[in-house]
Amino acid sequence: MSNQNTAPGGFLGTVERVGNKLPDPAMLFVGLLVVVWVLSWLLSYVSFDVIDPRSGNKLMIENLLAGAAMTEWMSVMVTNFSHFHPVGVVLVAMLGIGVAEHTGFINSGLRALLNVTSDRWLTPMVIAVGIVSHTAADAGYVLVIPLGGVIFYAAGRHPLAGIAAAFAGVSGGFSASFIPSSIDPLLQGLTQAGAQILDPSVVLNPLNNYFFTTSSSLLIIGLGWYITDKIIEPRLKNTEVDGDAEDMPEMHDLNPQESKGLAWAGIAMLAGIVVLIATAYPAGSAWRDSTGEIASFQAPLMRSIVSLIFFLFLIPGVVYGYVAGTVKGSKDIIVGMTKSMHSMAYYLVIMFFIAQFVYAFGQSNLGVLLALQGAAALQALAMPAAFTIIGIVILTAFVNIFVGSASGKWGLLAPIFVPMLMSLGISPDLTQAAYRVGDSSTNIITPLMPYFPLVVVYCQRYVKNTGIGTLTAMMLPFSMSFLVLWTIFLLVYFALGLPLGIQSSYTYP
């Protein structure tokens, strides 16, 4: 069998070849950890005329090679890993999904879905589902992206194209959701806090960008559809699918037992959703926060999304297995969970080193310095409003490559960007919208994003030689198109004076 995995020519081929020559992702983060250590040591002797907005004190780079810093790191190495958010999110969700996959529930559900979805609409459907998945926190990374590959493969299309489309929707379209999610009040709260540094009377609506993000979803779905079908899939036509046959989804029609199992599993899933809605609807529901809000970041419902995903797939998966005859006893359920954990072994190794890098990068203050110096340079340029907005988008996109968390990054940048642009007459609502465009666009091309290695693992299920370069080259057309055209879309939106969201404005005061 000839090797079809050699990267093609052109710019994307170069990106793939160079990227795949990088060390294994785990070793890449080991190298980056060493770089952070060395930089922190060298820059700890440099005095920077920068004030840390978090403390109000002069920013200092912490020397991580100092004895006290090294012993502190050794003492927290285990908790850095065990408390690293993506680890728990992925593993708990995968336990339930693993059962649903092992019993055949997911496979049968997808084949049933293909019967009612034409090939023409498959790509936009996957991207739209990826965008909607933001309402379930990080569920898209552990659910929608792998299913994108399964759906495309089952439809006779290249599975990596399905993964790319889903990844573009989940991560590239992170701020293009037409359904409100917990990220809206979270970002609004940080924006409002930043605005109140300059004006304590400023109060923002949690949905202050809702109309813009809803309109943006149409742009992202359309762009993602075109790029997937016209650029990515043709480029993948010579890439051989050489994954393990036993892991590949079956493509035969549903037999009577599978149809019956799917029907009962659907009833079980629907019953669970009805119970959830019925218990969450009352004003005094335990799913709500102390103020009665159900969509706030503190509401138990929002904090239980991953647990709900676990049960939402576990229960229908078990029901399907018993009705369809793929499960004979409880041992089969545990086998499904165990099998899903086996597939996560490589991911866990990578996550250990990523957790140590994230800890070191945060402790050193190098990320803070990078953001503050960039913002200061932007302020010094004193550009017109439109150019300032472009600058905010580009700077955010650049910082996003190094600092992945949307809330963590905005918590750092909002106290700088928001009052800075208010002093230039630009509203906090518009500044937040610009931030969201930049933050979403480069999520899909940075290996430093915690879920990036997980997507590589998904791709390796189908194409064993997939590496960092393969995924980066595959997602680069999405990223650059989103960055350029979404920024233009924001500027046109701004020029037309269309409402950004509820109780929002473009200018301050």
pLDDT in tens, 92-137: 878 888 888 888 887 787 677 766 777 788 999 999 888 877 655 5
Considering only CA atoms, which of 141, 138, 224 is closest in space to residue 183? 138
Strand, helix or coil for residue 281: coil
- CA atoms of 279 and 283, how far apart (whole Å): 10
- Whether 46 is covered by a domain: the verdict is no
> For 440-478, what is each residue's pLDDT tens digit?
898 888 877 778 888 998 999 899 888 888 899 899 999
Whether 3 shows a pLDDT value over 50: the answer reads: no
- What's the predicted TM-score (pTM) here? 0.70
> For 427-440, what is each residue's pLDDT tens digit?
999 999 999 999 88
- The pLDDT > 90 percentage for the chain reads 35
pLDDT in the model for residue 4: 42
- Whether 327 is covered by a domain: the verdict is yes
- CA atoms of 30 and 34, how far apart (whole Å): 6
What is the mean pLDDT of the segment spanning 496-503?
91
Helix (H) or strand (E) holding 108: helix 105-116
Cα atoms in the Cβ-side hemisphere of radius 13 Å centred on 236: 27
Containing structural domain, residue 184: 10-41+63-496
Q: What is the distance between the terminal CA atoms of the chain, rounded to a whole angstrom?
A: 67
pLDDT in the model for residue 486: 97
- Whether 47 is covered by a domain: the verdict is no
* Average pLDDT score, the chain: 84
Whether 316 shows a pLDDT value over 50: the answer reads: yes
Considering only CA atoms, which of 46, 40, 45 is closest in space to residue 70? 40
- Whether 5 is covered by a domain: the verdict is no
Q: What b/e readout covers 298-319, taking b as 16+ CB neighbours within 10 angstroms?
A: ebebbeebbebbbebbbbbbbb
pLDDT in the model for residue 67: 94
Q: How many domains does the chain have?
A: 1
- Whether 166 is covered by a domain: the verdict is yes
- Whether 48 is covered by a domain: the verdict is no
- Whether 53 is covered by a domain: the verdict is no
- CA atoms of 189 and 191, how far apart (whole Å): 5
- Whether 214 is covered by a domain: the verdict is yes
- CA atoms of 279 and 272, how far apart (whole Å): 11
Whether 191 shows a pLDDT value over 80: the answer reads: yes
